[in-house]
Amino acid sequence: MEGDCLSCMKYLMFLFNFFIFLGGACLLGLGIWVIVDPTGFREIVAANPLLFTGAYIMLAMGAMLFLLGFLGCCGAIRENKCLLLFFFMFILLIFLAELSAAILAFIFRENLTREFFTKELKKHYQRNNDTDVFSSTWNSVMITFACCGVNGPEDFEDIRHLPYSSLEKSTPEACCQRELQSREGMFVNKEACLEGIERFQNRQGCYTVILNSFETYVYLAGALAIGVLAIELFAMIFAMCLFRGIQ
């Protein structure tokens, strides 16, 4: 009976680690896609040090889960106590790190409100000054998603003009409609847009556009994160049980 239980646990351990292996492969692929994607994400990521760091953290986490899933599978099938202990310790560290990140994200969730982004935009945005990381990132977001400001063009009415662009209208160039949604795309009518003619402007705010674009993916990512945490928890339990059962 004990041998049958150990054998069952071994294959369950292999199954859980196989899912961790697949999860790591997915994170690895997603991290690579965000960095090399030619449709606009690469431009945004490169302009924002936080996003740039996050993309590489995603790559590192994916690679680590990929490797640990592989080690867990090998440790379970070969019943190697050293591999199982190594696997358990690293999965525990990853589990605690992910849990801490989730708790911090929940605590600081108020920093993702419409009001917070509006306040930050009005405080730091410098229009077409691409030497400023904040402004360059916002311009990239507005061009890529064909949106304007957080709520719409009215967000820029109270933002001061740069000293070298005193004749610039309140609407920044990034809010003007383009034939192709990239920095290289031709303007539909730049002069009319800057004069305030609405049909040549992107009128919808970026907060709503991005929220609608990623709403499905946010829930999917949340469900995936919960699933990964559950799998890691069960994998640690099976690893320790299998470790103690091996003679």
Percent of all residues in the chain with a pLDDT value above 70, rounded to a whole number: 81
Compute the mean pLDDT over every residue in the chain, rounded to the nearest whole number. 77
List, for residues 173-195, the tens digit of each pLDDT value.
889 998 877 677 788 888 888 88
As a three-state string, the secondary structure of the chain is CHHHHHHHHHHHHHHHHHHHHHHHHHHHHHHHHHHHCCCCHHHHHHHCHHHHHHHHHHHHHHHHHHHHHHHHHHHHHHCCHHHHHHHHHHHHHHHHHHHHHHHHHHHCHHHHCHHHHHHHHHHHCCCCCCCCHHHHHHHHHHHHHCCCCCCCHHHHCCCCCCHHHCCCCCCCHHHECECCCCCCCCECCHHHHHCCCHHHECCCCHHHHHHHHHHHHHHHHHHHHHHHHHHHHHHHHHHHHHHHHCC
Closest CA to 190 of 168, 158, 162, 161: 168
Q: Is there a contact between 31 and 59 (Cβ–Cβ < 8 Å)? A: yes
List, for residues 72-109, the tens digit of each pLDDT value.
888 878 878 888 888 888 878 878 887 887 787 777 76
Sole residue written with tokens 């997915």: 26
The average pLDDT across 41-64 equals: 66
List, for residues 129-169, the tens digit of each pLDDT value.
777 788 888 888 898 888 998 998 888 876 665 444 444 55
Q: pLDDT at residue 1 above 70?
A: no
Determine the Cα–Cα distance for residues 175 and 55; give it in Å rounded to an integer. Answer: 27
Number of C-beta neighbours around residue 38 at 10 A: 8
Provide the pLDDT for residue 111. 63
